[in-house]
Amino acid sequence: MDGLILIKYGELTTKKGNRKFFIKTLENNIRKILKNFNFEIKYDYVRMYIECELQDVDSIVLNLQKVFGIHGIVVCHKVNTKDEIFEKALELLKEQSFKTFKVETTRADKSFPISSMDFSRQLGGYILKNLDCSVDVHNPDVLLKVEIRREGNFLYLNETPGIGGYPVGIQGKGMLMLSGGIDSPVAGYLALKRGVDVECLYFESPPHTSLEAKNKVLTLASILNEYSGHIKVHIIPFTKLQEAIYKNVDDTYVITIMRRMMYRISEKVAKEEKAKIIINGESIGQVASQTLDSMSVINAVTTMPVIRPVACMDKLEIIGLAEKIGTYETSILPFEDCCTIFLPKHPVIHPVLDKVLEYEKNFDFETLVDECVLKRETIDHFQQEEFADLL
Ligand code: ATP
Ligand code: MG
């Protein structure tokens, strides 16, 4: 295998005590994401190397750009002899537009007869002779790195930025309320970025919501899966409970109470699945159910931490992120969610908890909540190929 990719951990290295666990988790995540390639991983505390087939290098780099915990990706070129290093260096630099350069050599293989400094000087001289440029050791336009190692010599130029964050899984699991909207997939992405192992939960209300709406959510989950490698989705049959709410609760309070039910169900599923937090896409002030008063009354049903990664972001900022991570195009497909069907004309903006508790006495919601939890459909080890079969 002649392809070689170097991975820099960045933020990881500051977490001294946990470094081993972080790097091991990162390695496992990379193995999942690259499962369709032939490759080998080697690592130490500072960096990781992926050896792969030369023709796979570009695709692997694209996949690695979606792995949290990676801060820099460098494609290395493997060459054998000194002459080959010189030729390859020239070839790489000819593809660049630059005026100044610097060569940096590291000699891990001490049996190599030329010292690092001398080698840099010789190679620098060769480049100066063949290209119209000059050396700048302090602030070069291009930095050419050479590594002399026992298993071969490596040259590299540019670093592709990784997406940063922590490896998914180092923080344990969170249950994401994933709707077909713009906000919740972004919330999921941000939680993954901090190392949370995200599992998803979707409330569907057939026949009021369509199969297309469900498939849209599964597509969003599969996009999040590209950043995680093992997203699981729970689909909650919400129709009976939602109909009971509309039958027993005043119009103005249906959304407040529906969302309290969603939280109750999310907490129960989270506990069964050993998730430690609930994650959702609520954003302060966006709709009636997301005023601070609404959030307080809705949040009161659970003691589990509820993390709202986009709570303080503007819609335009959320849209920008959705575009960047690739969920936006799917999110704007026009299929109705259970939150948007039968939307009341005047939902309460400042709900009163006592009133909510009175309405909730009107029906046996606990049995219905338990039924939702029990009858959920779970799509495990969510992978794109499996997903294709579902559609
Ligand atoms: P939009 O981007 O259109 O605002 P949204 O998904 O944020 O869509 P909201 O009505 O604002 O929709 O809902 C707030 C949050 O509640 C969502 O971000 C999501 O976390 C959760 N939620 C809403 N509907 C569902 C659903 N059907 N299944 C799972 N979670 C849901
Ligand atoms: Mg929203």
Domain ranges of the chain: 3-163, 173-388
- Tell me which of 184, 263, 307 to substitute to probe ligand 1's pocket, judged by most ligand atoms within 8 Å of the beta carbon: 184
Cα of 259 from ligand 1 centre, angstroms: 10
- Tell me which of 175, 178, 183 to substitute to probe ligand 1's pocket, judged by most ligand atoms within 8 Å of the beta carbon: 183
Q: Which amino acids bring their CB within 6 angstroms of ligand 1?
A: 177-179, 181-184, 201-203, 280-282, 286-287, 337-339
Domain 3-163 listed as CATH 3.30.2130.30: yes
Q: Which CATH class is domain 173-388?
A: alpha beta
32/92 Cα distance (integer angstroms):
32
Contacts of 37 (CB under 8 A, 6+ apart): 52, 53, 56, 59, 60
- List pLDDT tens digits, range 150-198: 877 889 997 889 999 999 999 999 999 999 999 999 999 999 999 999 9
Q: Is the predicted pLDDT of residue 388 greater than 60, yes or no?
A: no
Which residues is 277 bridged to in the sheet? 174
Answer left, alpha or beta for residue 38, where phi above 0 means left and psi between -120 and 50 means alpha. beta
Average pLDDT over residues 262-267: 98
346/317 Cα distance (integer angstroms):
28
pLDDT value at position 220? 96
Q: Is the predicted pLDDT of residue 223 greater than 80, yes or no?
A: yes
Q: Is the predicted pLDDT of residue 14 greater than 90, yes or no?
A: no
Nearest to 64 by CA among 78, 76, 55, 74: 74
CB 270 within 8 A of CB 278: yes
pLDDT value at position 8? 87
**Ligand 1, atom 11, residue with closest C-alpha:** 282
Cα of 247 from ligand 1 centre, angstroms: 22
**Ligand 1, atom 18, residue with closest C-alpha:** 281
- List pLDDT tens digits, range 31-53: 999 999 999 999 888 789 999 99
**Ligand 1, atom 10, residue with closest C-alpha:** 339
Instruction: Identify the weakest region by mean pLDDT among 4-13, 68-77, 242-251, 369-378.
Output: 4-13
Nearest to 179 by CA among 299, 294, 310: 310
pLDDT band of 391, cuts 50, 70, 90 = very low
